Amino acid sequence: MGVLYIVSAEEAAGKTTICAGIAINLLNTGKKVGYLNPQETEKGATGGDIAFMRKTLGLTDAVNAPDIVQGRDIVLVEAMLGTKAGDLATKETYGAAKEMQAKVIAVEAYGGDAAGVKYAALYKGFGENFLGAVINKVPRSRMKSAREKAGGGDIKIIGMIPEDRVLLAITVGELADIIKGKIISSPEKSDELVENYLLGALTPDTGTEYFQRKGRKAAVVRQERADMQMAALETPISCLVLAGGSQPPIHYVRDKAARKGVPIILTESGIEDIVEKIEGSLLKKRLNQDKKLAKLGEIVKQNLDMKVFS
């Protein structure tokens, strides 16, 4: 049995995403994988990332039970570091990783730095058990240059993970909850993913050209703009959001949406409020849709050196 610590010194770097991607690939090779998040468990947390990871791994034993490591080929442990070697969280993680004889990888969000590693000095505290860093959320347009620059630092880069809209997507049902809306058409499509958002208020015309720019989208249109609603429905669309009212759309909009199987979300929130709510949700988004997991595993396999874990 081996232990792999996945650490980060910054919030929202994506260590749970990387942890899940590694886990999926290990499971696919027949490994039995365990998972611990001691810091969150000490706070009494059992939901969120912990629940997601345990569901991903099919774990049913008690969270952080002493025997969770028994019968596992590898146990993944998540931990937050402080920003300095002397911070309590950092020292505790140094000690725990050493005691468990764990290998360690660090996760950082891409920041455009030549070497790509902000906390290199911090990671050296893990000594020879530190395997390297994973740079997450790299814009696809920067992947080539980021890889070329990665060798410029003294920390080994074992993976660069590109941004992917599928992993940022939310479902139609989640979108309705976020904007305090009600699905009044094709509710059976509430688990469809929404990857893009187009705002009808940003275009002065009623043509379909604007709405054809993106696929898998939510078209957000004011409740009284039936012409814009029909234009959006002429294009591939995940859902139609009618903002600023509680009245259902006129019959021919509703009929067209029903024929195409497009959910309509009705909300009293205005467009600016909707945008603010969506942005806030995406900042806190978790990988809680099963259909994302295969995509995540594929991305990690293609962009991270899995040999370092064998």
Quick one: pLDDT at residue 229?
Answer: 93
Determine which of 78-92, 141-155, 159-173 has the lowest per-residue pLDDT on average. 141-155
Same domain, 258 and 214: yes
Residues 95 and 223 in one domain: no
Task: Work out the average pLDDT over 16-36.
Answer: 90
The answer to whether residues 144 and 186 belong to one domain is no
Whether residues 118 and 92 fall in one domain: yes
Say what the pLDDT of residue 287 is. Answer: 60
Predicted confidence (pLDDT) at residue 180 exceeds the cutoff of 60: yes
Q: Give the pair of three-digit tokens for residue 83.
A: 């920003």
Same domain, 159 and 193: no
Residue whose token pair is 């969270």: 63
Residues 148 and 181 in one domain: no
**255/152: higher pLDDT:** 255
Q: What angle do CA 188, 191, 193 make, to 5 degrees?
A: 130
Q: How far apart are CA 64 and CA 40, in angstroms?
A: 10
- Give tens-digit pLDDT for 82-114: 999 999 999 999 999 999 999 999 999 988 765
For the cut 90, the answer to whether the pLDDT of residue 273 exceeds it is yes
* Domain identity same for 161 and 279: no
* Identity of residue 35: Y
Q: Quote the pLDDT of residue 63.
A: 46
Q: Are residues 31 and 161 in the same domain?
A: yes
Region 240-252 average pLDDT: 92
Range of the domain at 46: 2-167+289-309
Q: Which region among 27-36, 287-296, 300-309 has the lowest average model confidence (pLDDT)?
A: 287-296
Whether 123 and 204 map to the same domain: the answer is no
Of the chain, the percentage scoring pLDDT greater than 70 comes to: 85
What's the pLDDT band for 150 if we cut at 50, 70, 90?
A: confident
Q: How confident is the model at residue 168 (pLDDT cuts 50, 70, 90)?
A: confident
Nearest to 288 by CA among 34, 60, 50, 25: 50
Q: Between 298 and 50, name the one with better pLDDT.
A: 298
CA atoms in the 13 A half-sphere facing the CB of 69 = 12
pLDDT in the model for residue 64:
47
At which residue do the structure tokens 């629940």 appear? 51
Distances (CA, A) of 68 to 7, 33, 37, 94, 200: 20, 10, 12, 21, 52
Q: Is the pLDDT of residue 8 over 80?
A: yes
Residues 144, 219 within the same domain: no
Q: Quote the pLDDT of residue 47.
A: 57
What is the rounded distance in angstroms from the CA atom of residue 39 to the CA atom of residue 49? 12
CATH number at residue 275: 3.40.1390.20
pLDDT at 292 over 60: yes
* CATH (domain of 32): 3.40.50.300
Contact 13/136 with Cβ under 8 angstroms?
yes
pLDDT at 204 over 90: no
* Mean pLDDT calculated for residue range 156-175: 87
Query: What residues have CB less than 8 Å from 50, skipping those under 6 apart?
Result: 35, 37, 40, 41, 63
Q: Are 82 and 9 in contact (CB under 8 A)?
A: yes
| Buried b / exposed e along 42-60 (16+ C-beta atoms within 10 A) | eeeeeeebbebbbebbebe
Mean pLDDT for the chain?
Answer: 85
Asked if 123 and 149 sit in the same domain, the reply is yes
Shared domain for 202 and 243, answered yes or no, is yes
- C-alpha 212/C-alpha 170 separation (Å) is 20
User: Among residues of the chain, what percentage have pLDDT more than 90?
Assistant: 50
Query: Positive or negative, the Cα torsion across 137, 140, 142, 143?
Result: positive
Which of 259, 248, 206, 252 has its CA nearest to residue 228? Answer: 206
End-to-end CA distance of the chain: 11
In this prediction, residue 181 has a pLDDT band, given cuts at 50, 70 and 90, of: very high
Secondary structure letter of residue 202 according to DSSP:
G
Sequence-distant contacts of 281-288: CB under 8 A, at least 24 apart: 281/170, 281/174, 281/178, 282/168, 282/170, 283/12, 285/168, 285/170, 286/16, 286/48, 286/49, 286/52, 287/16, 287/17, 287/20, 287/52, 287/167, 288/52
Number of domains in the chain: 2
194 vs 225: CA distance, rounded Å = 22
